[in-house]
Chains A and B, each alone.
Chain A
């Protein structure tokens, strides 16, 4: 009996070891079959390292295709074989990160063989595409740390995207558009807050209702007014790229982080500020207390309801900025359903980032990368249907949610209404 339990205890890490080892070996073989086949010796892949006029030009990275591919495959298979034979590498997460990196790198080299690919340009696009996801994730973090699940982010962003572009066009001022978007986000989030806190509506149901309402009202206004009056209502122009002096001259990092629009800088600033607020200020402590154990927080004199209202509304303002990014931050006009599930992907980024602003931001970079990659791949004419590449962010979201990599625990009271006794 005792032996049996011991065997059971032993067998679990054993099985995990075999599992990850096999996955790695299979990934290596897959890379061999998918990417090495069809390449010829002597081919090179060129990766651009500059965007436009940086002061310090970095030479392009030219890699020989076959040797680099073989190196990546050998690394993957070696790690897998090591894990199969000896075990010992405890952190499955890191292993998977290394393997994913090898796989993506191999894919990129295969896709750019005999061609050139602007790596820094793609990473710049990654940040751009990650920003709405990151803002959605930050909105989620702020609400859920106070135990209110906000699935209405998608709807909030959609409505804010529309009000931003309309007000910016009418006022001929993008700043007005941004402020109106923030206000819109606050109002819609306040509606969600009242429904779930005051009326104790099921939080997911309320979120879904707001999403459906948001899709409906934006499509309604779009087809009733915007489509026939594009120049008067739906043509705002966009924020210009603001290069930050000095910082944008840093090679590689400069063009990625410091040649962006103002909304990107606001978002980066918000990540830092929210992290500090959440973990190093009384407000943050109260918020987290309300999210983990509202009754205890209440006993200590924290106003649970007020905290929740404030947090959900602040979250809505952040999502409003995210909505503004879709219109006045990138294309300058509103199209129906233009958020395309980014609000939900933001929720996945929040979960993957362990309800932590910096984590949420880093994981939205992952989604931004998947999104940016598929766009660039379509330009490279990779022999994969573009529809399949476009699925990438959604599939990454589903994989992330399984929690195979970095499972996280939500705030204890997340999603439950609070009854004052």
Chain B
């Protein structure tokens, strides 16, 4: 590209003046040698691509979110109104608004470090647990929120690996929750070691069905999975409205299911206000399983091959259709498990506002985690923290919880367009190539 530009310039320069000509000539070798220099010193680009770029994307997303927080803050707006009298106060008011919001966010998500240390000290000194539990409560809640994010992120990431964009995680999550809840409350006489796996399985099956339908339609008719999974979301919402007001409604006025039997519950680690349960380690186990499936099995290799190049895979004798259906089914099952662990471990019943956008967040999460199970776990932790803190940000700093969606939208854009991040931070390292994630209509 630069060579072409120079070639275009040089005729112009010769026609106007002969003297400037040596300058670009002498400049060019210097530039190339600089390029070479950088080539040698360049840190490994995998590090840049997989850690630095996502971190910068999140950071930039938080900065943009901060700007919106500052704009939405009344005190800051009044201070900016008097900008010409007191510019320092205006900037300080905005800065304070951002700091207040984000400290409420992270304080609400991670807890107060001093309290946690004090809690541990009293625990070791006296054996009293009350203070410790109170101090780690926020972090425990963040991990509780991380659990469905891990499952959902794995679901979306698995789809991406096969070149499929599963936006239906939201609906699959909801259906999984309903399936698990149904098995959980309708069967009453089983011992826990049968009932609990059965309830989890019920959730996985419900989610799998919801994922398999768009997968089948994609494989058989080439119907684009993005639109179909969204349609399945809306159908799931309507269906759940009906189920919660009709067949699955518990006795009483509210449109909620009955509470699941104790034999179907995922056990919790700590006494009551702390809701951290076996769902979290289960999610980590599934992250390992997905890693093993994708990178250590023949089937996983096929999935990735189809994702990378369906035509080449078909030529190599793999069934692209079968892989599409398989991946959408597994993806739906993972999303269904997310719903199941949420019901069996955290809520114990399903109500109407149950899903609350987890499925959509998981798209950002899978992109941020580069569709790798380890990346997904780390990104899920971040999103769990963001969401855990968002409620306290809403109550303490009066920032609506939806700011999280704004930040996530920005993060997706920045992750998907590394060129913007490179441009903002003047980065000249890392590879520029991008993988194609999705394909057009009916191809």
Binding site for B on A (CB under 8 A): 149, 151, 195, 199-206, 208-217, 219-220, 223-224, 340-341, 344, 347-348, 351, 385, 387-388, 390-391, 394-395, 397-398, 401-404, 407, 409-410, 414-416
Contact = CB atoms under 8 A, between A and B. Distances in A.
Interface string B201-234: 0000000000000000100111110111011111
B412 A209 contact: yes
11 contacts: A210-B409, A220-B405, A224-B72, A224-B400, A341-B234, A394-B238, A397-B227, A402-B221, A407-B442, A410-B440, A410-B442
B402 A223 contact: yes
Contacts of A213: 405-406, 409-410, 413
A398 B363 contact: no
Contacts, number: 159
Contact-residue bracket for chain B? 35 or more
Interface stretch (B269-277, B311-319, B414-422): B414-422
Nearest to A223: B400
B230 A344 contact: yes
Contacts of A223: 400, 402
B148 to A, nearest CB: 17
A401 B223 contact: yes
Contacts of B232: 394, 398
A204 B438 contact: yes
The 3 closest A-B pairs by CB, nearest first: A216-B405, A213-B409, A415-B440
A149 B440 contact: yes
B234 A201 contact: no
A90 B21 CA distance: 72
A195 B413 contact: yes
B165 interface: yes
B420 to A, nearest CB: 6
A24 B417 CA distance: 50
Contacts of A401: 217, 221, 223-224, 227-228
Interface in B229-263: 230-235, 238-239, 241-242, 245-246
B226 A387 contact: no
B241 A199 contact: no
Contacts of A215: 360, 402, 405
Contact of B402 (A209, A216, A416): A216
B439 interface: yes
Given A212-B412, A344-B231, A387 B405 contact: no
Given A387-B242, A388-B238, A394-B234, 15 more contacts: A202-B436, A206-B416, A206-B417, A208-B165, A212-B360, A213-B409, A215-B360, A216-B408, A219-B405, A344-B227, A351-B441, A394-B238, A397-B231, A401-B223, A414-B441
Nearest to B364: A212
Nearest to A149: B440
Contacts of B439: 415
B434 A200 contact: yes
Contact of B239 (A220, A387, A416): A387
A216 B403 CA distance: 6
Given A216-B406, A387-B239, A398 B231 contact: yes
Interface of B: 68, 72, 165, 167, 217, 220-224, 226-228, 230-235, 238-239, 241-242, 245-246, 360, 363-364, 367, 399-400, 402-410, 412-413, 416-417, 419-420, 434, 436-443
Given A398-B231, A403-B222, A416 B412 contact: no
Nearest to B241: A387
Contacts of A387: 238-239, 241-242, 245
Contact of B434 (A202, A214, A414): A202
B226 A404 contact: no
Nearest to B217: A402
Given A220-B400, A387-B239, A204 B406 contact: no
Contact of B227 (A201, A348, A404): A348
B223 A219 contact: no
Contacts of B400: 219-220, 223-224
Contacts of B226: 151, 204, 208
Contacts of B434: 200, 202
Given A205-B416, A410-B440, A212 B408 contact: yes
A394 B214 CA distance: 13
Nearest to A220: B402
B125 to A, nearest CB: 45
Contacts of A210: 409, 413
Contacts of B417: 195, 199-201, 206
B278 to A, nearest CB: 31
A120 to B, nearest CB: 28
A350 B230 CA distance: 16
A179 to B, nearest CB: 24
Contacts of A414: 440-441
A208 B412 contact: yes
Given A220-B68, A387-B241, A391-B238, A205 B228 contact: no
B411 to A, nearest CB: 8
A205 B367 contact: yes
B413 A201 contact: yes
A398 B217 contact: yes
B416 A202 contact: yes
A390 B238 contact: yes
B441 A415 contact: yes
A225 to B, nearest CB: 8
Given A209-B416, A340-B234, A341-B230, A220 B438 contact: no
A398 B408 contact: no
B382 to A, nearest CB: 16
A199 B441 contact: no
A199 B230 CA distance: 26
Contacts of B364: 209, 212
B222 to A, nearest CB: 7
Contacts of B402: 215-217, 219-220, 223
Contact of A212 (B238, B405, B436, B442): B405
Contacts of B419: 199-200
A204 B165 contact: yes
Contacts of A388: 238, 242
Nearest to A348: B227
Contacts of A200: 417, 419, 434
Nearest to B398: A224
A212 B409 contact: yes
A391 to B, nearest CB: 5
Nearest to A388: B242
A197 to B, nearest CB: 11
A221 to B, nearest CB: 8
A206 B437 CA distance: 11
A398 B235 CA distance: 11
B269 to A, nearest CB: 33
A213 B165 CA distance: 18
Contact of A199 (B404, B407, B420): B420
Contacts of B420: 199
A415 B440 CA distance: 5
Contacts of B363: 208, 212
A394 B231 contact: yes
A308 to B, nearest CB: 15
A257 to B, nearest CB: 29
A348 B221 CA distance: 14
Residue of A220, A344, A403 ringed by the most chain B CB atoms within 10 A: A220
Contacts of A340: 234
Given A201-B416, A213-B409, A402-B221, A347 B242 contact: no
